[in-house]
A and B are shown apart, each in its own frame.
Chain A
Amino acid sequence: MNIVVRAADGGIDAPALTRRAAELRGKIIGMSHAAQAAHLASSLSCADIVTAAYWHVLRIDAARPKDPLRDRFILSKGHAAAALYAALAMKGFFALQELDTYCQDGGRLAEHPPANLLPGVEAATGSLGHGLPLGCGMALSGRIKGEVFRVFALLSDGENNEGSVWEAAMFAAAQKLDNVCVIVDYNKWQATARSNETLMLAPLADKWTAFGWDAREIDGHDVGAVAEAMQRVPNGSGKPVALIAHTVKGKGVSFMEDDNNWHYRAPTADEVVKARKELGLA
């Protein structure tokens, strides 16, 4: 279960990662249906990023979830918890069957990741703009204690509305936290409107560059490209790294893609069948 997907030469096995991403999407869709929970489209848009992180990039071990030297992955866009839970279960941090308890009474898998409750969850998120400051604190603690690890924070594009993100961006640059990496899931939608019609994010990569980061734009659905970009952290620039990942909300299911109704809608049983077929999971 807990196997990093790598090609025979140790490089990125993109086809295998792509299959993992499809499986992850299948789990997420099933969970959304069973729980009739919101944020399905947000979870699907970051599925390739989460796959790249958990199946290629992160130095983590499900058997030692508190290892001081592990890489930290903070799902700052906590509303995509289904994607995180599914990945953690598939990686063996807890039993796959526990995914059936998602949003159920008395369970550990709430709609947003909990604090100090579930192995593999680095931080309780759900309120946006918290993950990066926490990550900076973790990175600095590593520096102080002489522990070498990396910190990845996955942010939504709407999350870039929060001032605390930019406070942290300036702080990380001033402290030269080159082991910190932000990935922005830039699906161009926030909860109720187009992102750039709400608060102007564009040019988003230029903004992160101007804030002292080594920023680049990537295709957030090219799981191999995402894995390669994340794997390069720290990249020798001496700066924290921002990956502006262009994505499509609801990616992977034709009738959900770029339709913001799926920010809140949950699929019917029939829609689950159709979606799984499209993902090649039928």
Chain B
Amino acid sequence: MGKMLSNGVKFLLTTLLIIAIGFLLFVANKTASEYVILILNLMAINIIFAVSLTLINGITGIFSLGHAGFIAIGAYVSTLLTLPVAQKEMTFLIKPLIYPLNQIQLPFLPATIIAGLIAAGFGYVVAAPSLRLIGDYLAIATLGLGETIRIIANNAWSITNGALGLKAIPPYTNIYWSWGWAFATVFVIASLVKSSYGRALKAIREDSIAAKAMGINVFSHQVMSFVLGSFFAGVGGALWAHLITTIDPKSFAFTKTFEILIMVVLGGLGSISGAIIGASIYTVGLEFLRVLESPFKFGFINFPGIPGMRMVVLSVLLIILMLFWQRGIMGRNELSWDLLYGFVTKRLKKRGGKND
């Protein structure tokens, strides 16, 4: 097993890391370009999406494909609460927005929290019937659910403004909100997973019948995981809406769930640190791939830019990933100080041995 660091040391290291990241973000916020700040915000939001999906799919083993639906709920609820009343009147052309939403305007934080809670509420309502199903059936049911939410959003003109969507959303999302919530998400979910409840959820994933036999109320724990994941999905949706400032039902098609799935699988399904890594790489990688969509030179060769090339490359990458590297970067393991410590000391020992 090797030497392990004491808990005190680990706590100190984690705190230092958070402070370091916080400092970097502070500097970036002051000096970086708008483009870089946009990417950083997207990265944080994608981390929230990926970690919340990992809790449901990777840790608890509930193969849910409906994450986009809860993101949509978060986005719409938060937006309807923060849009100025005058703007609502202007936007809702086909049918006026229902009471009391057309009178309310709330600040960002309460709107985000309410958005998360309502997404969680939907998760609760949806969980009970869905969790009776296993494996593939559950996947299809949750996929249908996500799609149903999108269709309702497309048709409920007096609530969501239907296909027209909502625009001129106040751009509240900044580095502090997005990364603040990202930290909160990671903290809550990581803390959950590192507790007896985390073991219970993993046990349910490994063998729900054995878990039952060991005294675990499988159903209530699955619901808990689903609701918690949906809450953060809703929060992420709220942050996202207030970043891109326009939303419409098309933004929440199955494609969105698929993107998050890529992030999670890339990082390792079942690992929180994997989800963070996967989300970060995906966010940055997607921007790099954008290069492919406008003309560029590679050595001597001129490549014409092709719109849509990004997604083609992405999907090919995912297929290759699954064929050759199913585990993803972290597999089911977590990045930990012990792991790092062991890695570093092994390297140092090797170096020391060579010098003898």
Q: Is B truly associated with A? A: no
Residues of A within 8 A of B (CB): none
